[in-house]
Homo-oligomer: A and B are copies of this chain.
Amino acid sequence: MTVTQAAAERLVRIGEVARGAGVSVRAVRYYEQQGLLIAERSPSGQRLYRQDAVALVRFFQQMFAAGLTSRRITELLPCWDSGHTDAEQRAMLRAERDRIQAKVDDLQTALDRLDEIIAITDTHP
């Protein structure tokens, strides 16, 4: 829900966002550069964020961890905060989902391999 009135909802500077989300200041600037995160500016030019920016940055981190590029994330952001999607976006979402699932399977396979090796090396003194 967008609070359209509610005079001046506490804005924070970039350092606080970075610390809150556990990333570097540089990272947050990078997100803006990639069109992921828009910030207001103070009269002197400093970036000002709403506090929900922290959650958004955390979301970015999750998606990055899943192997999505910032480009992909910008493409799915409209779905995220408008809830509306066209066919192309839905296809993209499913493609990414499937890709991640495949990656999980790959990792699981590698994990089994490693456990196998660990088991062998544990029995071999």
Contact = CB atoms under 8 A, between A and B. Distances in A.
A99 B97 CA distance: 22
Give the dominant DSSP class at A's interface: helix
Given A104-B108, A107-B100, A79 B121 contact: yes
Interface in A88-125: 89-90, 93-94, 96-97, 100-101, 103-104, 106-111, 113-115, 117-118, 120-122, 124
Contacts of A106: 62, 65-66
Given A62-B106, A66-B107, A104-B107, A84 B114 contact: no
Contacts of A121: 79, 83-85, 89-90, 93
A111 B107 contact: no
